[in-house]
Amino acid sequence: DAKTTQPPSMDCAEGRAANLPCNHSTISGNEYVYWYRQIHSQGPQYIIHGLKNNETNEMASLIITEDRKSSTLILPHATLRDTAVYYCIVRVEKGGKLIFGQGTELSVKP
Amino acid sequence: EPEVTQTPSHQVTQMGQEVILRCVPISNHLYFYWYRQILGQKVEFLVSFYNNEISEKSEIFDDQFSVERPDGSNFTLKIRSTKLEDSAMYFCASRDRGQRETQYFGPGTRLLVL
């Protein structure tokens, strides 16, 4: 699976957009970009995933660059409850296991 | 909304004892996984299970570990003789049949080996 690189930590003001970057320069054509988050020691929570096109759901937006070497997760109006570790994972179709890195620890501050 | 459930939420055991961690995956899902997370460390893949057999396992998943789907709803992880270093959060996950389908995680079982 492709390696991903994320900043170890970020701060965001409550109510502002949180933009979490991820580099995946070795991604190949059949690999999807997944985002999960983990609040305290709870189970990882699925947020969004994409292949080539930008995606949006009720939780977030995912922007993938045209060359697919990087992506950005956008939480449009961050709340205190969005404080968590956010993981960017590149997953091949076959197999299905997820390989977690260290993620980005997002702190949303009042 | 369907969710993965796990029991117990916490388990304390003595070193050398056997433990069984239980998971009820989402009902129509066919692929099942166990992951673990040692305190302060990354979430690590242990094993994946499909069609009543292990499809992939990590090097962590040695002979002390086994998985089973004893009936149509439960998915279990057994550790035969626990060691101190088995202390961790254990997460179960499941997904539907399509290769692109998302994995959904349970809340985890916190295992403490004394």
Per-residue pLDDT tens digits for A16-62: 999 999 999 988 888 889 999 999 889 999 999 999 989 999 999 99
CB atoms within 10 A of CB B109: 22
Phi-psi region at B41: left, alpha or beta (left = phi > 0; alpha = psi -120 to 50)? beta
Q: How confident is the model at residue A1 (pLDDT cuts 50, 70, 90)?
A: low
CB contact under 8 A, A101 and B42: yes
Task: Tell me what pLDDT residue A31 has.
Answer: 87
Could you give the percent of chain A with pLDDT greater than 70? 95
Type of residue numbered A88: C
> b/e map of A38-63 (b: 16 or more CB within 10 Å)?
beeeebbebbbbbeeeebeeeebbbb
pLDDT < 50 regions, chain B: none
Task: Tell me what pLDDT residue B100 has.
Answer: 67
Identify whether B8 is preceded by a cis peptide bond (ω within 30 of 0).
yes
Place of tokens 């609040």: A39
Quick check: A9 pLDDT over 70?
yes
Q: How confident is the model at residue A94 (pLDDT cuts 50, 70, 90)?
A: low
Q: Are A36 and B84 in contact (CB under 8 A)?
A: no
- A contact test, residue of B105, B110, B111, B112 with most A CBs within 10 A: B105
B40 interface with A at CB cutoff 8 Å: no
Cβ-Cβ contacts under 8 Å for B42 (sequence gap 6 or more): A100, A101, A102
Quick check: A100 pLDDT over 70?
yes
